[in-house]
Structure 1
Amino acid sequence: MQTNTDVTYMPPSSRSLITDLQSLGLRLADPDTGASGRRGGAGPSDHKAITIAGQTVMVPIYTGTARTSPFEAALPDVTGGSILLRDGATVGRITFPKQPRFYGLQTLDGLPYWKIAVLHGADVLATTVMQTCIRYTDRHTACQFCAIGQSLEAGRTIAHKTPAQLAEVARAAVLLDDVKHMVMTTGTPNVIDRGAALLCDSAVAIKDAVDLAIQGQCEPPRDHAWYGRMRDAGVDTLGMHLEAATQAVRARIMPGKATVSVDRYLEAFAQAVPVFGRGQVSTYLLAGLGDTAAEILALCEQLVALGVYPFVVPFVPITGTPLEHHAPPTPDFMRSVLAPLGRMLTAAGLRSTEVKAGCTKCGACSSLSSYEG
């Protein structure tokens, strides 16, 4: 199967189709089609992985918008694939990644591996090391789009994954399912290291068990020395996620996280890039929260100049969150951001194919990589 990292060119028609799918979502004629999707939790939630035009992408299927999407996956054929319809007309063919074999294993004390880490896209292992956050339970500080507690409340994960558990699952995922890299994110446990210490402990254990590139994701620690500590522990790339581009939108949508300002993030990026390298530091930006395309691109210009890869994805409203009825961005809005951003990245020599690990390398949650020159 061809994965995102193998793709060097995508026809404009396929690129546009994926952009449309990720904004509008997908209806399934058979809800049980393919591997199960992801509900709640951190990362791409209320999504299902599909493979189209040789690229595995995450597409919303459990959202209100998806239920009225013009896209529908027809009933599976004998091969397990489906015809993709738009307003009843055939526009392509999709397949669904098989459930990974490591999902069938459990720890000695009976904990299923899939409660410790899950497959994202086609070949990425992902985990939320700490499934709680100091901001989540207080509506005055919580990020309105966040569902980090939902999968925990539903019993689909555990609150804290130990380094030993993560190492065990990572080794199995590499051996059984040819996983290529790993994403470790975390809820913010404190306002000092903001999760960097958890990432360090976990990375050391994983690298001792298996040769696997790792992205760590956390808010900027107060002490810049943590960047070197994370790198030395085995974290290959770093994600520090702004989520929104302007301080006004950040303060409205994520009042607690916004206390770490855009300027503070820019300072953190300037310190982290020399440690990890150009393009090996990234930030997640959710288009559709209220920032204009011009505002997003203005921030991206600053980030690219610092050597940071701005991974811009369409906002997906997650069921059960305060923003569950917030409309996602239109495909045209996404193209108005992704096309110029792709040119910007190419001119700066920042390419997703050269990133060692993480969301940018995976690329499943955005069609951004297909807009790179």
Structure 2
Amino acid sequence: MSLSKSTQRQHLITELQTRGLRLHNAGQDHVSRRGGAGPSDHQAVTIDGTTVMVPIYTQSAWRSPFSVESSEQGHKLIENAIPLADITFADTPRFYDLSTTDGIPYSHIATLHSKDVLATTVLQTCIRYESRRKACKFCSIGQSLQAGRTIARKTPQQLAEVAKAAVELDGVQHMVMTTGTPATSDRGAAILCESADAIRAAVDIPIQAQCEPPADPAWYARMKAAGIDTLGMHLEVVTPALRKELMPGKAEISIEEYMVAFREAVAVFGRGQVSTYILAGLGDSKDAILETCSQLIEIGVYPFVVPFVPITGTPLEDLTPPSSEFMASILAPLGKHLQLAAMRSSDIKAGCGRCGACSTLSEYEH
């Protein structure tokens, strides 16, 4: 039985996101991300009208069967010498050419993710990352700072200046603000509030904030009042024993505590406007992930399941990414569950779930 075009596209994109892409010189002048927080070591590419983030700097990408062949007519995606599809790259945004009034390149303040999403890590340091004993083994938040591609703390004024330029010059549609976790009980909510307040005073752009659950749930209402539209609080791993092994510091906040926090946040931001990242391929079983997703959907949280991509320079850099078959075994039933629950990525006001470029989950919602 032949596969539908939609299923073929789902499979191809998932294969690219798990196995990576050998670029050689193609796309070198376009948007890519090496190290740091978020979809690191990735390149934004568009295939068959769908823009996705694909690993290019990882060890698996260097061994990938996928490559790009370039000519005057454009770029073609190749698998083992066989042309598969036309491929294009996201152009370097115009706002990257500018610097702040205090002389810092805009690209050190915020970067373009996918084709229309502005992203920033407000605080590029983290109490988890700074401790070898407590650091998440997959995290690379300090790499871009060490390499001089960003600064440790973005001020509200800098963020507002860059966001306004990104909207006006490049048509950015929404913004993601994440943060390393500071040694305060708000766990980053305070600096996200002051940042959002300044940005929304300068430009009308939907914002997602991402942080660990603050100790005081009053911060959810404060974030909403500051102009934050959606909230991400990321589980990453769902099996308690694996959480303690792979993210010992962050695992000090239990899954049960996260579930309480999710309920409190949904009460403020609304159903479908709170989300969580789950990294498939770190050892959680398919059943464990789907069971957790079921609980999250019942609460009103959008479970954004993405394939884990090992990042060079981290303790897990040699871990084999999940197969496309494993991802499909999760994303297909999860997509149906989201559809039945009337909770879709297209209804999210801002953030990773709305962008969807790091996973094919949205393809399975239809």
The TM-score normalised by the length of structure 1 is 0.96
**How many Å apart are 1:125 and its aligned residue?**
0.2
Distance 1:248 1:191 in 2: 26
Q: Does 1:341 align with 2:320?
A: no
What residue is the counterpart of 1:165 in the other structure? 158
Q: Which residue in the other structure is 2:136 paired with?
A: 143
Q: What's 2:53 paired with?
A: 58
Q: Distance in 2 between matches of 1:38 and 1:97?
A: 12
Q: Please tell me whether residue 153 in structure 1 is matched to residue 154 in structure 2.
A: no
1:239-254 equivalent positions in 2, closer than 5 A: 239-254=232-247
Correspondence for 1:106: 99
1:17 equivalenced with 2:12 (yes/no)? yes
SS in 2 for 1:11: helix
- Equivalents in 2 of 1:131, 1:12: separation in Å? 38
Match of 1:351 in 2: 344
Is the CA contact (8 Å cut-off) linking 2:263 and 2:299 kept in structure 1?
yes
In structure 1, give the amino acid aligned to 2:67: E
Q: Which residue of 2 aligns with 1:77?
A: 71
Within the candidate set 286, 296, 303, 1:293 is matched to: 286
Contact 1:10–1:370, Cα closer than 8 Å, also in 2: no
Q: Matches of 2:139 and 2:26 in 1, distance apart? A: 25
Give, as a single letter, the amino acid of the residue that structure 2 aligns with 1:232.
Answer: A
1:329 to 317, 322, 330: 322
Could you list the runs of 5+ residues in structure 2 that have no partner in the other structure?
none
* Displacement after TM superposition at 1:31 (Å): 5.2
Q: CA RMSD in A?
A: 1.2
1:316 matched to 2:316? The reply is no
Structure 2 counterpart of 1:362: 355
Aligned to 1:88: 81
Partner of residue 125, structure 1: 118
* Structure 1 residue identity aligned to 2:44: A
Q: Is the 8 A contact 1:34 1:96 kept in 2?
A: no
Q: Percent identity?
A: 62
Is the Cα contact below 8 Å between 2:31 and 2:90 reproduced in 1?
A: no
Contact preservation (8 Å) 2:26, 2:68: no
Q: 1:12 to 1:32 in 2, by over 3 A?
A: closer
Report if aligned partners of 2:31, 2:91 keep a CA contact under 8 Å in 1.
Answer: no
3-state DSSP of counterpart to 2:32: coil
Cα separation, partners in 2 of 1:10 and 1:226, compared to 1, 3 Å: farther
| Distance (Å, rounded) in 2 between the aligned partners of 1:91 and 1:181 | 32
Q: Check whether the contact 1:34–1:97 (CA below 8 A) recurs between aligned residues.
A: no
Given that residues 96 and 106 in structure 2 are in contact (C-alpha distance below 8 angstroms), is that contact kept between their aligned partners in structure 1?
yes
Deviation of residue 191 (structure 1)?
4.5
Task: Provide the aligned length of Structure 1 versus Structure 2.
Answer: 363
2:261 paired residue number: 268
Displacement of 1:249? 1.0
Which segments of 5 or more consecutive residues in structure 1 lack a partner in the other structure? 1-8
Cα offset for 1:109? 2.2
Q: Distance in 2 between matches of 1:11 and 1:288?
A: 24
Q: CA deviation at 1:14?
A: 1.0
Structure 2: how far apart are the matches of 1:276 and 1:10? 36
Post-superposition Cα deviations, 1:146-184, rounded to whole Å, max 9, x if no partner, equal 000000000000000000000000000000000000000
Task: Report Cα offsets for 1:236-271 as digits up to 9, x if no partner.
Answer: 000000011111111110000000011110000011
In the alignment, which residue of structure 2 is the partner of 1:28? 23
2-structure distance, mates of 1:182, 1:120: 9
Match of 1:174 among 167, 178, 183: 167
DSSP-derived class of the 2:51 partner? strand
Deviation at 1:185, TM superposition (A): 0.1
Query: Residues 309 and 333 of structure 1: is their aligned pair in 2 closer, same or farther, counting only changes over 3 Å?
Result: same
Of 196, 208, 213 in structure 1, the residue corresponding to residue 206 of structure 2 is 213
Give the conservation status (yes or no) of the 8 Å contact 2:27–2:89. Answer: no
Between the aligned partners of 2:63 and 2:213, the Cα distance in structure 1 is 39
Aligned counterparts of 1:335 and 1:15: Cα–Cα separation in 2 = 9
CA apart distance, 1:10: 7.4
Separation in 1, partners of 2:174, 2:187: 23
Normalising by structure 2, what TM-score? 0.97
Q: Describe the superposition over 1:121-164 as per-residue Cα deviations: whole angstroms up to 9, x where unpaired.
A: 00000000000001112111000000000000000000000000
SS at match of 1:169: helix
Letter in 1 for 2:295: Q
What SS does structure 1 have at the residue aligned with 2:71? Answer: coil
